[in-house]
Structure 1
Amino acid sequence: MKYKVGDKVNFLNENGGGIVTAIIDNRMVKVEVEGGFEMPVMESDLILDYRAKEAENITNQFHTHTSATAPVPQPEDNEPERVSEISPYFEVKEEKGIYFAYEPRDRQWLLTGELDIFLINNTKYDILYSLFMEQNDELIGIDYGSIPPDSKIDIETIERDDLESWNTGYVQILFHTDKPSKLFMPLHSRINVKAGRFYKEGSYTSTSLLSGKALIVKLSPENALEQVSDSLLAQKQGFTGKQTNSKTVVEKPLIDKHKTAINEAVVDLHIGELVDNILGLSSHDMLNLQINYFKKALNSAMINEYEKVTFIHGVGNGVLKNAIIKELESYEGIENRMAAISKFGVGALDVLIKTKE
């Protein structure tokens, strides 16, 4: 962080300037301009007002000579907080969920220089997280802590040479809210980013989750989180029968309903397989139902270490198939191919999930 609270700064690309009044995060500060208006500004868009700095130094030297016995001022602790709001000033457009991100520090040079690594909690829940990375063929506990709703944490700033120690690992997460209407199973998600992706400009996309372009890994959409059975909640709400030893009742994983072999499943996404009655549903409604079920099934398969899931999308006009392929682009460690024509015709897609060897 170049600047501290109280610094006088000028805008790099336009006239004017102001005084730094707050450190928002490790790359953005709040500047008060003429008239008392405060605005967030990227650190890279500012330059220190050196004339004001020189005047300050002269004043400090004068006070040093005339007040030899004056107490030495202690430097302020202006280190930015690791946790900050995702977007305090703009609407977040990304789907609700948990994300892992690599953001280049220099927005003009995406393929060189340092990277900031973030864990992003774009949900309405407080989360407790543990982060593990694979380094030299073993898992290393990197960080743990909590993140409030709609917030992110700056995990680390790394050099490009260190990427091999930061592109594969696991995140484990617990979800909390004071008055839950439903409970979720802990999230266990794998991070697996191919090293070559960091050196392709197309890997870095504009996102409202961060201030610049970043390589984004979607760990789990919020609507795909696996819920604990309602039986447990019912047990807490007025059951007056004989007391027994408490047992946590967990729903059977969604993907197990479609299991066809060890670590394999077939999920039929025809709308008639997902709902009993399509009366009143528009084509847009039906597509949303199919995509949501696809995401829930895939997330459940990844959590439960399935290796292959075949999704039957039908022939039709290709809208559902294309939507599925588009969704798969946001998942790491996933490949897809056309399913066996002899068994499914041309209306199915195999999704291959890479697991840790």
Structure 2
Amino acid sequence: MNYKIGDLVRFVDEPIEGHITSIQANDIIGVTDDTGFEIPVLKTKVTLVHGNMRLPEDDREEELFTKNLPFVGKGIFMAVAGEQKDGLAKFYIVNETSYELLVSIAEVSGSKTTGVFANSIPKHDYAQVYTANFSSVGKWPTFQLQILRHSRDLQTQTQPISKEFRVKPLDLINSKERVEMLQEKAWLYELDKVEEDIGLDKLKNHFISHRPR
């Protein structure tokens, strides 16, 4: 099995689950669990954990519950959770919208990228997409995010979200926000925020109008 950094795996012989944080020689991978410690283990001693392990009946129950609720068109976030003293940071895509999302995330390295996550995220749901150590926050990667929004109901047409994203060390000075889906606090980054393009002419007028007289 070809594993990659960020994959969620479970130990075959022990009740341990964590994310791959290093690929080592002799078919050994480093798996970091919730304690923040990296455990070396043979690839043959772990299995891949897929998605959020949702069952079909979960989706049917949710559909019945949300059928008469208003459609939520905005609210796609990258959430970074975890305590710096514990060492492990967890990256989530949080979908507060009524859209189903098709998400692809790649790690940018120069002019090339390496995929780290690709999956669908149901409406009003989330998925863990990456892990990293707080001790190396200055070396956290830049991500290329691509997100498609899908709805079976008639909605205004949306364009795919395509952008680069990186958490900067200074961002972690800001306060966390409570994320009910995760049942914990996290640093939140809005991914579907409309970027205002004021244009060159508007920028020029802005400076002219604010010039001291």
Kindly tell me the number of residue pairs found equivalent between the two proteins: 153
Q: CA deviation at 1:142?
A: 1.4
The residue that corresponds to 1:120 in the other structure is 94
Structure 2 residues without counterparts, runs of 5 or longer = 1-17, 19-33, 36-46, 63-72
Taking only aligned residues, the RMSD between alpha carbons, in angstroms, comes to: 3.9
AA matched with 1:147: I
Q: Among residues 147, 153, 178, which one is paired with 2:121 in the alignment?
A: 147
Other-structure match for 1:82: 52
Structure 1 stretches of 5 or more lacking a match?
1-25, 27-42, 45-76, 89-94, 226-253, 267-309, 313-338, 347-357
Aligned-pair CA distance for 1:149: 0.6
Question: Match for residue 134 of structure 2?
Answer: 160
- Provide closer, same or farther for how the CA distance between residues 173 and 81 of structure 1 changes in structure 2, counting only shifts above 3 A: closer
Distance 2:188 2:102 in 1: 20
> What is the rounded CA distance, in whole Å, between the counterparts of 2:204 and 2:86 in structure 1?
39
Once the two structures are superposed, the pairs formed by residues 1-357 of structure 1 within 5 Å of their partners are: 81-82=51-52, 96-104=74-82, 109-135=83-109, 138-164=112-138, 166-198=140-172, 200=173, 202-221=174-193, 224=194, 255=197, 259=199, 264=200, 266=202, 310=203, 340=207, 343-345=208-210
| 1:213 to 1:179, Cα distance in 2 relative to 1, 3 A | closer
How far did residue 265 of structure 1 move?
A: 5.4
Secondary structure at the counterpart of residue 196 of structure 1: helix
Cα 1:120–1:265 shift into 2, 3 Å: farther
Structure 1 residues 111 and 214: alpha-carbon distance in aligned structure 2, compared to 1, 3 A threshold: farther
For residue 166 of structure 1, report the CA deviation from its aligned partner.
3.7
Using the TM superposition, give the Cα deviation of residue 136 of structure 1 relative to its aligned residue in structure 2, in angstroms.
6.3
Structure 1 residues 186, 120: closer, same or farther in 2, change over 3 A?
A: same
8 Å contact kept, 2:138–2:168: no
Instruction: Return the structure number with greater relative CO, CA threshold 8 A, min gap 6.
Output: 2
Q: Percent identity?
A: 19
Q: Are the equivalent residues in 2 in contact too, given 1:116–1:154 (CA < 8 A)? A: yes
Q: How far has the Cα of 1:120 moved from its partner?
A: 1.4
Q: CA shift at 1:177, angstroms?
A: 1.2
Task: State the AA in 1 paired with 2:144.
Answer: Y
From the two aligned structures, give the one with the greater helix fraction.
1
- Name the CA distance, whole Å, in 2 between partners of 1:179 and 1:143: 27
- Please give the TM-score of this superposition, normalised by the length of structure 1: 0.36
Pairwise CA distance, 1:169: 1.8
1:139 aligned partner, one-letter code: T
Rg (Cα) greater in structure: 1
- Once the two structures are superposed, residues 35-59 of structure 1 have per-residue CA deviations (whole angstroms, 9 ceiling, x without a partner) of xxxxxxxx99xxxxxxxxxxxxxxx
TM-score, scaled relative to structure 2:
0.56
CA shift, 1:215, in A, is 1.3
